[in-house]
């Protein structure tokens, strides 16, 4: 099919490249001339596994890039809107970019089109898109508006798109639903997975079901999904705080509750809190929608509060390790909000680095992918290292803030010799406390007892039973 994708950010670029890999003819539209020039020159503007290969495979053939929205819409059967929806000061999603695209689409209606929300938007957005297009003189039967929320995670976005748990289609007419069924048919009939050159199948991937709902339900599914996952992260971080208070090990607790099939182990990873472009924004938007409907979603307030508290607790751990912070040299590993991406939006690592700078610390930092983006935010206040060991040289402590695989495989004896003091504060629980103590480190982590070479961790023992006295 002929598809236009409006917006070349994370969602739009990945969706466009994956639609091309499914066999469709795709035009990705953007008004950023610099980005378009880079894409047309074969550059990949974001760090995402398999995306450079797909762009190279389809660029100039099934996948083209353009700034001509009118022509792209006229040539397409379906138009996916994947522009940004940043939060306003009140927490609502800013839908001005979506509205601008809807106005522009109305003038290019030369045959029946399906207009698809791919951006994360609040409920009722599909109705407003339809109103805007109708107000700009499009015939009522010349188009339908659908909601097709994305469930891609940064760092695994390509495989999440091509091997999804489910495909949600919000459509209020059979004709509209039929178009989207055809677009996703290579996934739902399994034919894509049999192709030579298909992106490798991740573990336990199965042929996904296509779930057809109303547009309002589909819009709510995306916000509700992200809110639930953020709640799960905040829940285990709260449990980690209790574990620290009583001397328990949160990883043992996670194993105990995560093997319950009703709960599952996913997102039970204690750390310094969630970040990125989705969870913080979507929770605020979902709460704002609920408030407008007359419902005070207090659970979401607490999820966000716990997430903010987790960063303060990590700051306290560093204080506990070093006593005072002013004048201290801290080595920081990780600046992206998660491993496998260069995205620093709402990154807890960036937030913590800014706090340490305000406390008068000197920071030397290393991230495998996010250096350039972080440099734009942190300016010249941080020394950027070329590898973890350069960052650690003569530092008073090493802080692990992002869960990159390479940070879980450091040469620990070498690290010990480079640090001024062998102190590691691990916000991602990448190492075993007893092993770190055995190697001579004072080691702090999340939800587990701190250890040092002379004071090993001791598992709490049950209280002795009272003896009956006569």
Mean pLDDT by 10 residues, the chain (470 residues): 96 97 98 94 94 96 96 97 88 90 91 94 92 90 95 94 97 97 98 95 92 96 94 97 95 96 94 92 91 93 95 96 96 96 95 96 96 90 96 98 97 97 97 96 96 65 45
Look at residue 468 in the predicted model and tell me its pLDDT: 44
Look at residue 460 in the predicted model and tell me its pLDDT: 47
The CATH number fitting domain 215-470, selected from 3.40.50.920, 1.20.1090.10, 3.40.50.720, 3.20.20.10 = 3.40.50.720
- CATH superfamily for domain 2-213: NAD(P)-binding Rossmann-like Domain (3.40.50.720)
Look at residue 235 in the predicted model and tell me its pLDDT: 97
Tokens 């495979």 locate to 57
Taking CB atoms within 8 Å and a gap of at least 24, the contacts of 88-91 are: 90/288, 91/284, 91/285, 91/287, 91/288
| H helix intervals, 396-438 | 412-418, 433-438
For residue 254, indicate whether it is catalytic: no
CB 423 within 8 A of CB 430: no
Determine the Cα angle at 206 with ends 204 and 210, to 5°: 140
Look at residue 470 in the predicted model and tell me its pLDDT: 37
Instruction: Please name every residue paired with 455 in a beta bridge, in sequence order, or none if there are none.
Output: 452
CB 275 within 8 A of CB 336: no
Rounded distance between C-alpha atoms, residue 435 and residue 314, angstroms? 21
Look at residue 446 in the predicted model and tell me its pLDDT: 97
CB 212 within 8 A of CB 191: no
Q: Provide φ and ψ at 61, rounded to 5°.
A: -120, -90
- Find the catalytic residue in 18, 254, 278, 361: 278
- 3-state helix vs strand vs coil in the chain, percent to 5: 45, 15, 40
Look at residue 137 in the predicted model and tell me its pLDDT: 80
N-to-C CA span, the chain: 87
Domain definitions of the chain by residue range: 2-213, 215-470
| Same fold? 2-213, 215-470 | yes
């Amino acid at each position: 099919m002929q598809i236009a994708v409006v917006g070349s950010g994370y969602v739009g670029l990945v969706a466009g490249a994956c639609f091309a890999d499914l066999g469709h003819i795709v035009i990705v539209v953007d008004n950023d001339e610099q980005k378009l020039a880079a894409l047309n020159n074969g550059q990949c503007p974001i760090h995402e596994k398999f995306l450079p290969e797909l762009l190279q495979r389809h660029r100039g053939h099934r996948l083209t890039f353009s700034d001509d929205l009118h022509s792209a819409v006229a040539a397409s059967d379906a138009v996916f809107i994947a522009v940004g929806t940043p939060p306003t000061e009140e927490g609502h999603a800013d839908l001005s970019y979506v509205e601008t695209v809807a106005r522009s689409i109305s003038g290019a209606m030369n045959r029946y089109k399906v207009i698809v929300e791919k951006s994360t938007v609040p409920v009722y957005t599909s109705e407003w898109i339809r109103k805007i297009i109708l107000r700009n003189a499009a015939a009522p039967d010349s188009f339908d508006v659908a909601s097709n929320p994305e469930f891609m995670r940064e760092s695994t976005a390509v495989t999440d798109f091509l091997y999804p748990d489910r495909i949600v289609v919000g459509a209020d007419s059979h004709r509209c639903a039929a178009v989207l069924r055809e677009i996703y048919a290579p996934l739902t009939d399994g034919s894509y997975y049999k192709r030579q050159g298909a992106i490798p199948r991740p573990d336990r991937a199965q042929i996904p079901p296509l779930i057809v709902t109303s547009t309002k339900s589909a819009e709510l599914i995306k916000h509700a999904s992200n809110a639930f996952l953020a709640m799960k992260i905040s829940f285990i971080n709260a449990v980690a705080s209790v574990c620290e208070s009583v001397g328990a090990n949160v990883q043992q607790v996670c194993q105990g509750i995560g093997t319950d099939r009703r709960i599952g182990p996913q997102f039970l990873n204690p750390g310094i809190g969630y970040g990125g472009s989705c969870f913080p924004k979507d929770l605020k938007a979902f709460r704002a929608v609920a408030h407008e409907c007359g419902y005070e979603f207090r659970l979401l307030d607490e999820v966000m509060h716990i997430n903010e508290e987790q960063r303060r607790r990590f700051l306290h751990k560093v204080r506990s390790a070093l006593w005072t912070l002013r004048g201290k040299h801290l080595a920081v590993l990780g600046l992206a909000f998660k491993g496998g991406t260069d995205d620093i939006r709402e990154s807890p690592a960036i937030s913590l680095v800014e706090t340490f700078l305000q406390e008068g610390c000197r920071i030397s930092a290393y991230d495998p992918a996010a250096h350039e983006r972080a440099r734009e935010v942190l300016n010249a206040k941080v020394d950027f290292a070329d590898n973890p060991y350069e960052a650690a040289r003569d530092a008073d402590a090493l802080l692990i803030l992002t869960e990159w695989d390479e940070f879980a495989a450091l040469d620990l004896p070498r690290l010990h010799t480079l640090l001024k003091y062998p102190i590691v504060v691990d916000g991602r629980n990448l190492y075993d406390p007893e092993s770190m103590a055995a190697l001579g480190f004072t080691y702090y982590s999340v939800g587990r007892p701190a250890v040092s070479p002379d004071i090993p961790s001791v598992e709490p023992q049950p209280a002795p039973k009272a003896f009956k006295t006569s």
